[in-house]
Amino acid sequence: MPHTLRRLVLALGSVAALSAPLLAAAQNPPAAPAAPVTPAVSAAPVPELARALPDFSALVELAGPAVVNIRTSERIKPGANAQLDEQMREFLRRFGIPVPPQRKGNPAPSPSPAPDDDDGDDESPQRRGLGSGFVIGADGYVMTNAHVVDEADEVMVTLTDKREFKAKVVGLDRRTDVAVLKIEATGLPMLRMGDVTRLKVGEWVMAIGSPFGFDNTVTAGIVSAKARDTGDLLPLIQTDVAINPGNSGGPLLNLRGEVVGINSQIYSQSGGFMGISFAIPIDEAMRVADQLRSNGRVTRGMLGVYPDDLSKEVAEAIGLGKAQGALVTRITAGGPGEKAGLELGDVITRFDGKTVEKAVDLRRLAAGTAPGSKVKLQVFRRGATKELTATLEALPDDRAAATPEPEAPATGGAQAWGLAVSELTDAQRKELKLPGGLKIESVDGPAARAGLRPGDLILSVNNTEIKTLKQFQALLAKVEKGKPLQMLVRRADAVTYVLLKPGKG
């Protein structure tokens, strides 16, 4: 047999040998197919997964009874089309936009008028609102947001056991959006206050409130950021906990069942929750609440200046180097700052031994200091550091400060200089309370692009105080070619630094 044929027969024989058992199995199948062998499934991973994620049920049982629902009503009188209705006011508040207080004699009409059941005046409609709060005193003290109860004629508090009480507004503070209520009840369940300094970004937190009127709704998430500068006097806690209208004033709790914040605002382009919400730190809120409970109002210190931030470019130009401190753009006549010797254009870098990184730091440090306190100020002025002492006065009550503080004009950021100036007369200097300075008569090209205007006053050039036109011309002559010119300019009652850069366009 040829060799090749012999190999083919052997190969076929091997195939036949392999297929014989298969054919036999096909002709005589077993009574029941054997079950496939698979590894045994352990029940251990399921509880492990459950333990890996937080279970909020025990926390809800613990904290839920101390969370309350708040309903408000405000009597509406006719002739108020210019005022905002409550829905729009709530919408603006939740964006963090300041909302002017309603005037009692001229509130807005309600889109859905409701009768006033208390005084029998059925023709008097009401504006109604919803919010949340939580018990901070077993004898009936409740904390919520100021904007929940502000301007309300009646405030009703409902407990989780369905008991309802008419609440008295002990006090509210618009600047921090904190309010304290009092109901006639005792033995109420209370929440423990947490330590905000121990709160960590990424930590699980939970909110309880009444979004859209759904009582005792629980939502959870994590801390997204701490000390977010969206508030005026308070840095806020940012979370991704779902917060909606009606959640305002409810507690933000950590996994130990402690309150770490009061849910207050959201960032939204639609008016609804979009993944970013803000809470007032509970330590700051409790300081405010203690004053409200004791005095019905909050007393804060005031330096009497209007601070602004410095850009890195300006800080380098004036010789400060690092962009830190609060630029004094306005000084209240006869106020603590003026009495201490502060001048327009000063940069306050330290307040009572604490570093001032930006303008908001100065406002918060002054507000957190008791009126009458003497504080040391470290000031950067025309290239040198000075030490001043100021005695703080009381900041006016927030109810009398509904209008926003005037803003300083923006720093010009253009290309070069081109000015026509004149010296101030003795009478003008006396009227303006200035030792010197030059008045800008006209601007053209570079100066106009830098943002300067006729009527602006030049107070200093490259940290040198200006008194005469001759001095001004001498300083311009010394500026190196290609170098920017830094000036302190006064417009109306405010000052700012302006950088003029050489070049065309």
> In the chain, where are the structural domains located?
60-182, 192-295, 301-400, 419-500
pLDDT band at 448 (very low <50, low <70, confident <90, very high): low
Confidence category of residue 47, pLDDT binned at 50, 70, 90: low
Specify the pLDDT at position 206: 96
Residue 213: which of 132, 125, 96, 325 has the closest Cα? 132
Q: Active site residue: 116, 173, 177, 308, which one?
A: 177
Strands 258-266 and 192-193: parallel
What residues have CB less than 8 Å from 181, skipping those under 6 apart?
Answer: 70, 133, 141, 142, 143, 144, 149, 155, 157, 167, 168, 169, 170
Q: What are phi and psi of 175, to 5 degrees?
A: -65, -30
**Ramachandran quadrant class, 274 (left: phi over 0; alpha: psi -120 to 50; beta: rest):** alpha
pLDDT for 427: 78
- Domain 60-182 - what CATH class? mainly beta
Residue 95 in tokens: 């964006």
pLDDT band with cut points at 50, 70 and 90 for residue 166? very high
> Could you tell me the pLDDT band of residue 433, with boundaries at 50, 70 and 90?
confident
Angle subtended at Cα 390 by Cα 389 and Cα 393, rounded to the nearest 5 degrees: 165
CB 336 within 8 A of CB 351: no
- Token pair of 119, please? 């005084």
Question: 175-179, 244-248, 407-411, 458-462: lowest mean pLDDT where?
Answer: 407-411
| 248 assigned to active site | yes
| Residue 7: predicted pLDDT | 39
d(CA 256, CA 208): 15
E strand or H helix that includes residue 27: helix 3-27
- Stated as kind and residue range, the H or E segment containing 349 is strand 347-351
DSSP 421: E
Q: Which of 73, 147, 150, 264 is catalytic?
A: 147
CB 127 within 8 A of CB 108: yes
The CATH homologous superfamily for domain 301-400 is PDZ domain (2.30.42.10)
Contacts of 383 (CB under 8 A, 6+ apart): 318, 319, 463
Residues 388, 389, 392, 393, CA torsion sign:
negative
**Residue 196 above 80 pLDDT?**
yes
Query: 99 vs 465, which has greater pLDDT?
Result: 465
| pLDDT number for residue 46 | 54
Confidence of residue 405 (pLDDT cuts 50, 70, 90): very low
Is it true that 60-182 and 419-500 share their CATH fold? no
List C-alpha distances in Å: 30 to 17, 21, 27, 36, 263: 21, 13, 10, 15, 69
In CATH terms, 192-295 corresponds, of 3.40.50.2300, 2.130.10.10, 2.40.10.10, 3.40.190.10, to 2.40.10.10
In this prediction, what percent of the chain has a pLDDT beyond 70?
70
Q: Which carries the bigger pLDDT value, residue 502 or residue 235?
A: 235
CA–CA separation, 345 vs 328, rounded Å? Answer: 5
* pLDDT surpassing 90 at residue 482: no
The residue annotated as part of the active site, out of 248, 264, 277, 460, is 248
Tell me the C-alpha distance between 454 and 206, whole Å. Answer: 56
What confidence score (pLDDT) does residue 504 get? 52
- Sorted by sequence, the CB contacts under 8 Å of residue 154 that are 6+ apart come out as 72, 73, 118, 166
Verify whether residue 147 is a known catalytic residue: yes
pLDDT tops 60 at residue 88: no
> SS3 for 76-145, per residue?
CCCCCCCCCCHHHHHHHHHCCCCCCCCCCCCCCCCCCCCECCCCCCCCCEEEEEEEEEEEEECCCEEEEC
In CATH, which superfamily holds the domain spanning 419-500? PDZ domain (2.30.42.10)
Q: What's the pLDDT at 147?
A: 92
- Residue 411's pLDDT is 30
Average of per-residue pLDDT across 90-100? 50
Q: At residue 95, does pLDDT exceed 60?
A: no
**Per-residue pLDDT tens for 369-401?**
999 999 999 999 988 999 999 999 998 875 543
**Of 17 and 65, which is predicted with more confidence?**
65
Give the Cα separation of 343 and 168 in Å (integer). 46
What integer pLDDT is reported at residue 322 of this predicted model? 87
Return mean pLDDT, the chain. Answer: 77
- Which pLDDT score is estimated for 436? 80
Q: Is the pLDDT at 337 greater than 60, yes or no? A: yes
Measure the CA–CA gap between 329 and 361, rounded to whole angstroms.
15
Does the pLDDT at position 316 exceed 50?
yes
Q: pLDDT at position 102, please?
A: 52
What is the pLDDT, as a whole number, of residue 220?
95
- Whether 365 shows a pLDDT value over 50: the answer reads yes
- With 50 as the cut, is the pLDDT of residue 244 above it? yes
Per-position DSSP letters for 243-297, written without gaps between them: --TT-TT-EEE-TTSEEEEEEEEE--SSSS--S-EEEEEHHHHHHHHHHHHHHSS
Q: How many CA atoms lie within 13 A of 114 on its CB side?
A: 10
Residue at 110: amino acid letter: S
Distance CA 413, CA 452 (A): 10
Residue with more model confidence, 136 or 118: 136
